[in-house]
Amino acid sequence: MSSGTIAPPATGLPRTRIEAHSGRRRLLWRNVTAYAALSLGSVLMIIPFLWMLSTSLKDDRQAYVFPPIWIPSPVAWNNYLDTWQALPFNLFFLNSAFVSLILTVAQLATCSLGAFAFARLRFPGRERLFVLYLATLMIPFQVIMIPLFVLVKEFGWIDSYWGLTIPLIFSPYGTFLLRQFFKTIPLELEDAAKIDGCSWFRIYWNIMLPLSKPAMATLGIFVFMWSWNNFLWPLLIVSSLEMKTLPLGLAYFLGQYTIYWNLLMVGATIALVPVLVIFFFAQRYFIEGITLTGLKG
Amino acid sequence: MSHPTSRRNFLKLSAGVSAAAVLAACAAPAPPAGAGDAAMPETVELRLTFWGDLADMPTWNWGIEQWKDERPDIQIKWENTPWGEYWTKLQTEAVADNLPDVVGMVSMFSQQYIRQGSLLSFQSYIDAEPEVDVGDFWPANMLAYTWQDEIYAFPYDLSTVLPIYNKSMFLDNGVELPIGDWTWDEFQETCIALTQDTSGDGNTDQWGWLMPNLASWTIDIPLSTNGARFVSEDGLKCLLDTPEAIETIQWLADLRHVHQVSPTIAQQGDVPLFESGRAAMHWGNPERVQTIASRVGPARDNENFLWDVALFPMKTQPGNSVQGGSFAIGSTTEYADQAWEFVKFYTSAPILEEMVAKPSRGIPGRASIAQALITDENPEHQQYFLDVLEYSISTFIPAFAQVTAVLAKYMDEIMINNEPAAAILPQAVQEIDPILIETA
Amino acid sequence: MATSAPAWRSPANWFGPEYRNPARRREVRAAFLFLLPNVVGFLVFMVGPLLASLGFSLLDWNLLSAPDMVWLGNYLELFRDAEFWRSLRATFYYLVGSVPLGLVLSLALALALNQRIRGIRFFRTVYFIPVVSSMVAVALMWRWMYNPTSGILNYMLNETFAFLRLPLRAPDWLQSPVWAMPAIILMSVWKGMGYNMVLFLAGLQGIPRHLYEAAEIDGASNQRQFWTITLPLLTPTTFFVLIMSIIGSFQVFEQAYIMTQGGPVRSTVTTVYYIYENGFEWHKMGYASAVAWVLFALILGVTLIQWRTQERWVFYE
C-alpha cells in the first residue's frame, strides 16, 4: 500500500498552525523531514512483520536456511491454504469475531454506565468504591484464575460462549478510561437538561453517549483487540475444537519439540489483518476526537 | 490423607463468599431433565485430554476411529491442548473437579498427579482381568505409574535418547561413523572435527553437537554413562555432588566452553539446526526421528542428507535414561468402567503397534510389539533405542517440576556463566534435597 | 416523625445531611442502578475469586489434598525467600527500563503523527501493528530473531558491524544473563508503544487550537510552545498512561514465559512469573497467592503515591 493514495483525513477542517503561518518552502521542507523520519521509524517498527510475512511465504526448507533470506523463492502461497485447512480456522475465526464483538458491545455498555455514575453522580462512598474497583486491576490474573474457573464451572459455563464472555464483561480499565473522559464534558450541558426535567438515564443516553463517541471508539478498539488476542482464559474455558478461538488455534503450531514457523506466521498474519483494518478505518473516529483531560481524581 | 469433599466445600465456600446472594440469580439453568432419556441411555461420551501437535494428531485420531468401530456406544471427545499449556489446564481442571475421564500423562509428572489424588487406580480392574497382561508393559517405566503397589496409568510409549547424526556430513568430512559403543573422548574428537566455520567469517556455522537441555530428565543420560545419577533411587537425595556427577557435568560444560562444539541449549531451540544441515549431531527420542523424517526425508532416502542414530558415548559404562507417555483415568470420572475399557483398548498391542511403533512416535509401551519400531523407513540403527532400555535409569519424583526449575538455575551457572561444576553442583544439592524430603 | 427518635433511625440521615434532599436521594438511587451491572459482575467475578485467593494465601495447599492453615506462614516465608526478592528485582528492572523509555518514545511518536499530512493514517496504522498482534506469536518471533545462531537480528547486526569494520559483536540477548532483560524490555517497548501513542494522540487532539494560535501571534517558537502548552496540557493523559504502564509493568509475565522461561540463571523470573511457577508448575497455590497479595500491596502503594502527587504536576483546566 502506498501512502500517497490516502487522502488527508479532513480537508474541510481549519488549517493547522503550520499551514496557516508558514511559507510554502518551509512547509515543504518540514514535510520532507517528517516523511523521512516517519518512514525510517516505520521501517524499524515493521521489520519484524516483514520477517513474519516473509516466513509465512517460505516452504519448510527456506524457513530455516541460514544466512536468512528475505524474499522467498519460490513463494509458498499454498502455506495459507494449508494452514487454513490444517485446522478449522473458519470456525476459530468466527468464534473469535463473535466473542470479541459481544465483549466489545457488552463492555462498552457496562463501562459507560458505571463510568457515568462515577463521573457524574454524587453518592456516598463513591471515591472509595472507585479506588476499590481500580485496585482489582492490580491483582495478577494468574491468582484469581483458579477460583474464577471453579465459579464458572459451578455455573455450568465451561466450554461455552457464556464462559468465554460473561466473566470478562466487567472491566475496571474501561470504566476508568470512560470516567476520565466523562469528566471533561462540560457540566453546563447536563445542568440545562436537568432543568428541563430529564432523567439521569436520558442525560446519559442523550447527552453523554453522543458526546463520547471518540472515547467509546477508543475503548471499543482496545477491548476488541484485547479479546481478539486473549489467550489464557479461553485456554482454560474451551475444550472442544469447535469452540476454540484464533489464539488457541495458533498454539497448535507449537509442538512439544518443534515450532512450525511458517504456519505459525501464516496464522499470526491472518489474525492480525482484521484488527488492523478496523484500526485503519476507525482511527478518525477516535484519534481525532478523544481527549483525556480532566483526570482529576 | 486426601479429603476431596472437604476441599470441594472449601473451594465453593471461598469462591462464593461475597457472591453467594447473587449466585442463585445468575446461575445457568440446569439442563432440562429428561432430555437425554429418550435417546439411547447406554451411550456415553468420554472426555479425553491429551496434547498432540499437528504432526501426530492423525495418528491418535486413527486409534479413536478404531475404537468407534469397536464400541460405538462409548464415544470419545478429544479435548486437545497443546503441550505448552497442557499442564496448567490440567491442574486447573483437577482443582475444579472437572478432570476429563481419560487423561494423557507423562512419567516425569505422574507421581505428582497420583499422589495428589487426581488419578484413578487401575488395580481392581487389573486384578479382575488378567488377560490385560500388565507384564507386557516395559517394567522400567511402570515404576513411574505405580504407587503403594497400585498401577495408575498404562504407557503408550517410552523415550530413550540417542545422538542422531548427519551421516552425509560425516562421510563428506571423512569422519568415522559412530557405530557401536564409543567413548567420551572419541565423541569429543568427532565433535571437534565437525565443528566448522564454513563461511570463514569467524563465526561457527556448523556445530558438532546440539546438547540436550540438561535441566530435565535428560540429565540422567550423560550421568549414567559415568555411573552417576541425578537423584537416589528412593527419591530422597540429590546425587549431583558425587565426583562422577561433577566430572560428567564439567565434561559437558567443557564441550561448550573449551571445545566450543555446541551452542547453548536455548540457541538451538528455535530453528531446527540439525535439519537445516548446520549440526553434525543432534539428540532425540524416537519421536524426533519421526519429525526429522518429515522434514528432510526418511533416514536412508535422501542422498544429500543421510542420517542415522548412534549410542550415547560412555565413560565407564553404557548408559541412558527412559521416560514416556501414558493414559490414565481422572479420579472424578462418572464413567470409570467405560474409561477403563477405552484405555485398555488404546494401549493394547495391535493399536500401539500402528499408532506408536510403526511411525516411530515412540518405543511402544508394550514390549511384545517393540520390534515394529524397526522398519526400512526408520534409521539403520533404530534398534539402539530398544537396546539401551536394558541399562537405562530414571528419576521419578513428585516434585519433578520444582526440582528441575532449581536445577536449571545451577546448570545455567555452569553452561552459560562458565562457573566450575565442582563449586556449583554442591549448592544445587543443598537446595534440592529439602524439596525432595518435603515432598516425599 | 417523632422528634425524640434518634437521628440515625431515619434513612434520610444515613448519608449525612446533604442527602435529605429528595433530588439527592433520587441521584443516589440512579447511581445505584447505573452501577448495578458493574457491581454485580464485580462482586461475582472479581471480589469472590479475590477473597478466595486471599484465603488461599493463608494455606499450605497443593490445590488438591486437604489444605493446612498456616495463617501468615506463607508471608513470613516469602520474606526469607531469596527467589522472591530476586523476582522483585527483576520486576523493578523491567519497570525502570520499560516505562520511561516507552513513555518518551510513544509521546515523541504521537507528536510526530499529530500532523495533517498525506498518508498519516497509514503511518499511524504501521505503528499500531505491534499492538494488535498476538503476544504469543510476536514473542516467539522475537525469540527467534534474538537467537544468536539463527536469528535475523544478530545476523543483520553482525553484517553491519563487519561492513563498518567495527570490532563489535552482537550480544547473545536471551542467552545472556546480562542481556536477557534488556532484550525483553526492547521487545515490550516495541510492542506497547503504539498503544500509548493512541492515548497521547487523543490527548494532543484535545488541546485547544486557539492556544497555539495565540502563542504564534506572541512569536513563541515551536520549542517554547511545546514546553509551555503541549506538555502541561498533556499531563492528564501522561498521568493515565503512567499509572497504567506501571501497573502493567508490575504484572509482566508473558514475555518471560514465552521468550526465556525465566532464564538464564533466573534473571528474567519476574514476580508474576514466580507466582505462575509456584501455583501452576509446583502446585503451591497458597504460597503463590501470598506472593500475589504482597505484589498487590506494592502496586497499590505505588499507585496511591502517584495519585497523591498528581496535584504537583498534573495540570487540569
Residue A175 contacts residue A111 (beta carbons within 8 Å): yes
A17-21, B303-307, C308-312, range with the lowest pLDDT: A17-21
Q: At residue A211, what are phi and psi to the nearest 5 degrees?
A: -75, -15
DSSP string, B102-130: EEEEEHHHHHHHHHTT-B---HHHHHH-G
Across the range B30-44, mean pLDDT stands at 53
Q: Is B118 on the interface with C (CB under 8 A)?
A: yes
| Rounded CA separation C148/C154 (Å) | 6
Task: Specify the pLDDT at position B34.
Answer: 42
| Rounded CA separation B28/B35 (Å) | 16
Question: What are the grid coordinates assigned to A105, written together?
Answer: 458491545
Q: In the structure, what pLDDT confidence band is assigned to residue B267 with cuts at 50, 70 and 90?
A: low
* Interface mutation vs chain C, best among B268, B416, B424, B430, most C CBs within 10 Å: B416
pTM: 0.89
Question: What does the pLDDT look like over C277-293, one tens digit per residue?
Answer: 999 889 888 999 999 99
- Per DSSP bridges, beta strands B150-151 and B146-147 are antiparallel
| Interface predicted TM-score of the whole assembly (ipTM), two decimals | 0.86
Residue given cell 555452569 in the structure block: B414
C-beta atoms of B291 and A145 within 8 A: no
For residue B144, how many other CB atoms are within 10 A of its CB? 26
Contacts (Cβ under 8 Å, ≥6 apart) of B382: B286, B289, B309, B360, B373, B374, B375
Please, which residues 130-189 of chain B have a Cβ atom closer than 8 Å to chain C? none
Task: Specify the pLDDT at position A195.
Answer: 81
Task: Specify the pLDDT at position A14.
Answer: 39
B45 sits in which H/E element: strand B44-50
Mean pLDDT of chain B: 88
Q: Is A260 on the interface with B (CB under 8 A)?
A: yes
pLDDT > 90? residue B291 = no
**Chains contacting C (3 or more CB pairs within 8 Å):** A, B
pLDDT > 70? residue C11 = no
Closest approach of chain A CAs to the CA of C5, in angstroms?
Answer: 23
C-beta atoms of B412 and C264 within 8 A: yes
Task: Tell me the CATH number of domain C77-313, given options 3.40.47.10, 1.10.3720.10, 3.30.70.600, 3.40.10.10.
Answer: 1.10.3720.10
The number of C-beta contacts closer than 8 angstroms across B and C is: 121
pLDDT > 60? residue A294 = no
Residue given cell 495540570 in the structure block: C315
Q: Which segments within B81-185 are labelled E, that is strand?
A: 102-106, 146-147, 150-151, 153-159, 162-166
Task: Specify the pLDDT at position C85.
Answer: 97
Across the range A94-100, mean pLDDT stands at 96
Task: Specify the pLDDT at position B56.
Answer: 81
Closest approach of chain C CAs to the CA of A291, in angstroms?
Answer: 5
pLDDT > 90? residue A31 = no
- Residue length, chain C? 317
Question: What does the pLDDT look like over B394-430, one tens digit per residue?
Answer: 999 999 999 999 999 999 999 999 999 999 999 999 9
Highest mean pLDDT among A279-283, B112-116, B268-272, C201-205 belongs to B112-116
Q: At residue B375, what are phi and psi to the nearest 5 degrees?
A: -130, 170
Across the range A73-91, mean pLDDT stands at 88
Task: Specify the pLDDT at position C206.
Answer: 73
Closest approach of chain B CAs to the CA of A159, in angstroms?
Answer: 10
Q: Is C43 on the interface with A (CB under 8 A)?
A: no
Q: In the structure, what pLDDT confidence band is assigned to residue B5 with cuts at 50, 70 and 90?
A: very low
C-beta atoms of A142 and C109 within 8 A: no
Q: Is B77 on the interface with A (CB under 8 A)?
A: yes
Among the partner-chain residues B3, B22, B273, the one whose CB lies closest to the CB of C149 is B273
Closest approach of chain B CAs to the CA of C65, in angstroms?
Answer: 5
Task: Specify the pLDDT at position C67.
Answer: 85
Q: Is A261 on the interface with B (CB under 8 A)?
A: yes
Question: What does the pLDDT look like over B118-177, one tens digit per residue?
Answer: 999 999 999 999 999 999 999 988 999 999 999 999 999 999 999 999 999 999 999 999
Classify the C-alpha dihedral A281-A41-C258-A261 as positive or negative. Answer: positive
Q: In the structure, what pLDDT confidence band is assigned to residue C10 with cuts at 50, 70 and 90?
A: low
Residue A201 contacts residue C30 (beta carbons within 8 Å): yes
* Boundaries of every domain in chain C: 7-56, 77-313
If one compares C236 and B139, the residue with the highest pLDDT of the two is: B139
C-beta atoms of B53 and A261 within 8 A: no
Task: Specify the pLDDT at position A293.
Answer: 41
Residue of A nearest to B56 (CA): A255
Which CATH number applies to A80-296? Answer: 1.10.3720.10
Tell which residue, B212, B184, B154, B106, has the closest CA to residue B340: B154
pLDDT > 80? residue A115 = yes
Please, which residues 154-213 of chain C have a Cβ atom closer than 8 Å to chain A? 155, 190, 193, 195, 198-199, 201-203, 205-206, 209, 212-213
Task: Specify the pLDDT at position B194.
Answer: 96
Across the range A251-257, mean pLDDT stands at 83
If one compares C12 and C72, the residue with the highest pLDDT of the two is: C72
Tell which residue, B315, B11, C314, C136, has the closest CA to residue A148: B11
Task: Specify the pLDDT at position C14.
Answer: 55
Task: Specify the pLDDT at position B118.
Answer: 93
Among the partner-chain residues A264, A272, A295, the one whose CB lies closest to the CB of C239 is A295
Across the range B99-119, mean pLDDT stands at 94
C-beta atoms of B84 and A240 within 8 A: no
Question: What are the grid coordinates assigned to B3, written together?
Answer: 479429603
Across the range A270-297, mean pLDDT stands at 68
Q: What are the chain B neighbours of C162 within 8 Å (beta carbons)?
A: 201
Across the range A192-208, mean pLDDT stands at 85
Closest approach of chain A CAs to the CA of C222, in angstroms?
Answer: 10
Task: Specify the pLDDT at position B345.
Answer: 96
C-beta atoms of A268 and C35 within 8 A: no
CA A12 vs CA A16, A20, A22, A42, A115: distances in Å: 11, 14, 19, 28, 33
